[in-house]
Amino acid sequence: MTGMKSFFRTLLRTRASAGKEKSLLSRLVGDSLITQRKYYGISIAAMIVVSVTAALTAYLMEGIVDSLTATDNRAQVFLVAFAVVVVFAVKGLATYVQLVFMARAGNRIIADQQKKTFEKLLDHGVSYFTLTESSDLLTRLTHGAQQARRVVDLLVTSVVRDTLTLIGLLAVMFYQQPVLSLICLFIGPMAILGVRSLLKRVRELMQQEMMSLAEIIKVVQETAQGIQVIKVFSLEERMAQRMSGAVRQVENRANSIIRLEAITSPLMETLAGFAIAAVVALSALNLFGATPPTAGQLMSFVTALLMAYEPAKRLSRMRISLEAGLIGVKMMYDLLDYQEDLVEQPDALDLPEGPGRVVFEDVQFGYDNGAPVLRGLNLEFEPGKVTALVGPSGGGKSTILNLAMRLYDPSAGAVRIDGQDLASAKFQSIRQRISFVGQNTFLFADSVMENIRLSRPGASDEDVIEAAKAANAHDFIEKLPQGYHTPVGENGSFLSGGQKQRLSIARAMLRKGGILLLDEATSALDASSEARVKEALARATKGTTTIMIAHRLSTVLEADRIYVVVDGQIAEAGTVQELLNQGGEFKKLFDTQYEGFVTASG
């Protein structure tokens, strides 16, 4: 009796997630099994039928053997034959229903978990993506959902089909031979003792395998994104070695896990051999009482014993398989449970209508609780004016733009647009007021038309074309193979840098948000492309509150106001002429960039 209690306790025990009130398994059941209860209900009903027919198959062996030894009773022979056909046909149909509806439920679990995980990703702030490698995210999103399905399927089939089948077969065994059944029953739970020591090792191997899978994805991503550098510096062999090492680690750990899962097989085979040998030996000792069992009864008992071997073996390995699967599930839930550091307040309001005045009030900020980047920053961007931010790298210029877009929140102070603190504004209203053009233009693998239209999904084709003309992009778009419907490739790989930048400007102009942020929008362009882009930017900034970052001072000479940002503070402010007259940091930058030009001109 103690052995049976230990057996079922081990089957139902699950590893609790640290710091959580519910176990991973309980949470997964609530998220997946309950939501797909219709499909799983049908599958469970079919499993019950399969379990019953398995027990009937073993029971019918008595009738089959007895009818074969008593052929004069034709009615009994035909009855047994008919029963066999019915039982096997019902079992086959029930198995079909079980497999189909289990697959539907499992596929829905994968789809739901992947959608939920991706939607959670979209809720995370920029800092999360900065700190987390994309290969890690892909592993959690794809492999975690697959493991969620695997765990639920394993739980349902083990608890319902295998357990009920084993109970039914045990009932047949006890009905036919109670004494021998008790002997087998005490031998069976011994297999569980060997399983417990394997669980910790399985967990460790699965965690290591997840890391290796993420490394494989990482190598592929870096190869696709950095193929030019790989070719130029002949890094093919190095990348091949990295991939080979990661693949070999996954292979070795997968083999180790399979070895641990399969180690129960020789244990169960040996125990099954002892059980059958005991049946043969004890039947010869006449321990069955005055009336020896018939050949049919012994055959029915042996059949039930042999059929019970497979579900018993699967149940003995279930804990190991669960532990392996729950590692992936935990990775997925870790992502889902990550607390965002940038959230919208419950009582958040839309930004008020206004000219687009942006004000920083005593703003302090540092990334990831590190050294402060902005130190009590106070500045104002006047509506409808072009304000430039210049200064040495690392001074905090890009951080100012990130705070203005509320990609981060200041640790102290406030950022306001038209008088309202962005911390109390709705994200959507902030995004609708702001357009952005960065140094590294990102384009989706879609058509030119749709990449421009992203900033205003409801815009008509005519609106898109008008924005492209204003951005000096219409002419080159018309020359593309399919015009505005030409795919741009992954991140605009089919276009030049200048073409991508002009599409980005067209996208920003189509937005008509009233506030335009430019981060080194022309730094990576040649002289010809820069001239076209600067002409487009002149149109885009007209009457718009514009905040511009540039290291090339030629792009900021027409700005209405210039701030020189040094070590997170405003070192100087004024027009170009005012700053040159001050002879400070801006004058130094100006002299550095134009010294050669002035000397040559002189």
Q: How much is the mean pLDDT over the chain?
A: 79
Residue 217 maps to a domain: no
- Please state, in angstroms and rounded to a whole number, the distance separating the CA atoms of residues 393 and 488: 32
Residue 204 maps to a domain: no
Residue 133 maps to a domain: yes
Q: What is the mean pLDDT of residues 472-483?
A: 90
For 118, the token pair is: 């991706």
Q: What is the mean pLDDT of residues 527-535?
A: 73
Residue 13 maps to a domain: no
User: Domain range for residue 59?
Assistant: 22-198+263-336
Determine the pLDDT at residue 486.
92
Determine the pLDDT at residue 219.
78
Same domain, 308 and 455: no
Residue 218 maps to a domain: no
Question: Residues 6 or more apart from 529 whose CB is under 8 A from it?
Answer: 496, 497, 498, 501
Q: Which of 322, 334, 333 is nearest to 202 (CA)?
A: 322
Same domain, 588 and 493: yes
For 478, the token pair is: 């018309």
pLDDT in tens, 422-458: 999 998 888 888 888 887 788 888 899 999 998 888 8
Confidence band for 10, pLDDT divided at 50, 70 and 90:
very low
Same domain, 394 and 324: no
Q: In what order do the strands lie in the sheet with 358-365?
A: 374-381, 358-365, 412-417, 420-421
Higher pLDDT, 220 or 548: 548
The model carries a pTM of 0.69
Most confident of 187-191, 199-203, 575-579: 575-579
Q: Which of 363, 394, 395, 408 is nearest to 381 (CA)?
A: 363
Determine the pLDDT at residue 553.
80
* Contact call for residues 109 and 75 (beta carbons, < 8 A): no
Same domain, 402 and 485: yes
Last residue of a domain, one of 301, 336, 371: 336
pLDDT in tens, 202-261: 556 666 666 666 777 777 777 776 776 677 667 778 888 888 887 787 777 777 766 666
Same domain, 486 and 589: yes
Q: Tell me the chain's radius of gyration from C-alpha atoms.
A: 36
Q: In 3-state terms, what secondary structure has residue 322?
A: helix
Residue 246 maps to a domain: no
Same domain, 157 and 279: yes
Same domain, 403 and 332: no
Residue 45 maps to a domain: yes
Higher pLDDT, 340 or 186: 340
Q: Which of 115, 30, 551, 566 is nearest to 336 (CA)?
A: 115
Least confident residue range of 73-87, 148-162, 282-296, 406-420: 282-296
Same domain, 565 and 508: yes
Q: Which of 180, 443, 477 is nearest to 300 (CA)?
A: 180
Same domain, 180 and 320: yes
- Please state, in angstroms and rounded to a whole number, the distance separating the CA atoms of residues 262 and 258: 6
Task: Specify which residues 365 forms β-bridges with.
Answer: 374
Same domain, 396 and 544: yes
* Contact call for residues 410 and 376 (beta carbons, < 8 A): no
pLDDT in tens, 47-96: 999 889 888 888 888 877 777 666 566 777 778 788 888 888 998 899 89
- Please state, in angstroms and rounded to a whole number, the distance separating the CA atoms of residues 408 and 365: 9
Same domain, 272 and 128: yes
Number of domains in the chain: 2
Residue 558 maps to a domain: yes
* CATH number, domain containing residue 122: 1.20.1560.10
* CATH number, domain containing residue 398: 3.40.50.300
Same domain, 315 and 400: no
Determine the pLDDT at residue 208.
65
